[in-house]
Chain A
Amino acid sequence: MSFARGKLTAVMGGSGCGKTTVLRLLGGQVRANSGKVLFENEDVSLLNNEELMRVRRKMGMLFQFGALFTDMSVFENVAFPMREHTSLDEEAITDLVMLKLNAVGLRNARDLMPSQISGGMARRVAFARAVALDPPLIMYDEPFAGLDPIALGVTARLIKEMNNALEATSILVTHDVPETFGIADYVYFIANGKIAAEGTPTELMKSEDLFVRQFIDAQPDGPVPFHYPGKTLRDDFGIRGSAS
Chain B
Amino acid sequence: MNVLVDRITRLGGFVRLNIAGIGHATAMFITVIRRSIGLLKRFRLVSDQVFFLGNYSFVIIAVSGLFVGFVLGLQGYYTLNRYGSEQALGLLVALSLTRELGPVVTALLFAGRAGTSLTAEIGLMKAGEQLSAMEMMAVDPVARVIAPRFWAGVIAMPILAAIFSAVGIVGGYLVGVPLIGVDSGAFWSQMQGGVDVLKDVGNGVIKSVVFGIAVTFIALYQGYESKPTPEGVSLATTRTVVISSLAVLALDFLLTAVMFST
- Chain B positions 106-145 with a Cβ under 8 Å from a chain A Cβ: 124-125, 128-130, 132-140, 144
B138 A54 Cβ-Cβ under 8 A: yes
A29 B136 Cβ-Cβ under 8 A: yes
Q: Which residues of B contact A70 (CB under 8 A)?
A: 124-125, 128, 130
SS class of chain B's interface: helix, strand, loop or mixed? helix
Which single member of B130, B139, B140, B144 contacts A67 (CB below 8 Å)? B130
- Chain A positions 46-104 with a Cβ under 8 Å from a chain B Cβ: 49, 52-54, 56-57, 59-61, 63-65, 67-70, 80-81, 84-85
Give the CA-CA distance A54 to B138 in the complex, in Å: 7
Q: How far is the CB of A38 from chain B (nearest CB, A)?
A: 18
A80 B137 Cβ-Cβ under 8 A: yes
Q: Which residues of A contact B137 (CB under 8 A)?
A: 56, 80-81, 84-85, 129
Q: How far is the CB of A84 from chain B (nearest CB, A)?
A: 5
Give the CA-CA distance A65 to B125 in the complex, in Å: 12
A64 B136 Cβ-Cβ under 8 A: no
Residue A27 CB within 8 A of the other chain: yes
Q: Which residues of B contact A126 (CB under 8 A)?
A: 133
Interface positions of A (Cβ within 8 A of B): 27, 29, 49, 52-54, 56-57, 59-61, 63-65, 67-70, 80-81, 84-85, 126, 129
Across the A-B interface, give the 8 residue pairs with the lowest CB-CB distance, nearest first.
Answer: A67-B133, A56-B138, A67-B129, A61-B136, A53-B138, A57-B138, A63-B129, A81-B137
What are 24 pairs between A and B in contact, CB < 8 Å? Answer: A27-B135, A29-B132, A49-B140, A53-B138, A53-B140, A56-B135, A56-B136, A61-B133, A61-B136, A63-B132, A65-B128, A65-B129, A67-B128, A67-B133, A69-B130, A70-B124, A70-B125, A80-B137, A81-B139, A84-B137, A84-B138, A84-B144, A85-B137, A85-B138
